Amino acid sequence: MQTIQSVNEMQSHAIALRSSGRLIGLVPTMGCLHEGHLSLIDIAKERADKVIVSIFVNPTQFGLNEDFDRYPKSLQEDLEKCRERGVDIVFNPSVDEMYPQGYSTYVSEEQVGSGLCGISRPNHFRGVTTVCLKLFNITRPDIAVFGQKDAQQCAVIQKMVADLNIPAQIVIGETKRGEDGLATSSRNRYLTNTQRDEALTLPKALQIAQRMVQDDGVSSVDRVVAEITHTLSSARQVRVIYVEIVDRLTMEPAGREIIPGQHIVCVAAWLDQTRLIDNIAL
């Protein structure tokens, strides 16, 4: 397994791989790898000849007073996990390498990312699209694999790829969960045992919503949202940011009626100082 920090070196390797006819799979990450990331690596290995994992905590997708400076890092553990999983190249650039002095160009998707996290985290998706386009240009992937837990991010990237004619297929891996049901996330490391117990109200609320729609035939958006909000409010430390039922591709609000298979329910909440998101298909 190679570890590369230089943009120019990574780009040269990628061009050589493509010239030799190898299919490249990219798994973009911010490190602190968990089972969710590893499952995405497995998908990339199944579909590509060479797998590149990027590890880069991207400053442009963090807002003022967010957790960029304390975002969990475990590079040596991450490299070992990548090696064990059969990753071919880890691309681990510095901030200065990705955003050299004088950098001033950004990519903005203005529709899919406008609601949900786009409201509560201004400029977040501008940072996501910018760094992903840069990573695509540097690593030249045939496929790029993202996780369904970040549903809106997936939809934003898919829209960018379609709008800008980027020759890469976006593959979405299912959300991985711990044995207790909590969606895997690097930020879960922030949680104490007590806080994790409180955080379990997110998947519990989503499962209730899914059963209401799929088993009980409930189609009212207001009724399902009210039940989710009520469940989340049972946890003393959870502060709801949003609960919304949206189209899984466009992220547009569902209106009054839920269409099974088309809509997902997305939630975001603060648990003390930790921001958590989750979603489930309806």
The terminus-to-terminus CA distance of the chain in angstroms comes to 40
Residue 183 backbone phi and psi in degrees, to 5: -60, 135
Count of C-beta atoms within a 10 Å radius of residue 83 = 12
Active-site residue, 34 included: no
**70-76: which pairs have CB atoms within 8 A and are 24 or more residues apart?**
71/30, 71/32, 71/186, 72/31, 72/32, 72/186, 72/187, 72/189, 72/190, 73/31, 73/32, 74/31, 74/32, 74/33, 75/31
Distance CA(264)–CA(224), nearest Å, equals: 11
Distances (CA, A) of 223 to 118, 186, 243: 24, 32, 12
Amino acid in position 191 = L
Distance CA(27)–CA(50), nearest Å, equals: 11
Residue 272 backbone phi and psi in degrees, to 5: 55, -115
Distance CA(265)–CA(247), nearest Å, equals: 9
Distance CA(248)–CA(233), nearest Å, equals: 25
User: 37, 124, 230, 263: which one is catalytic?
Assistant: 37
Q: Which residues are catalytic?
A: 37
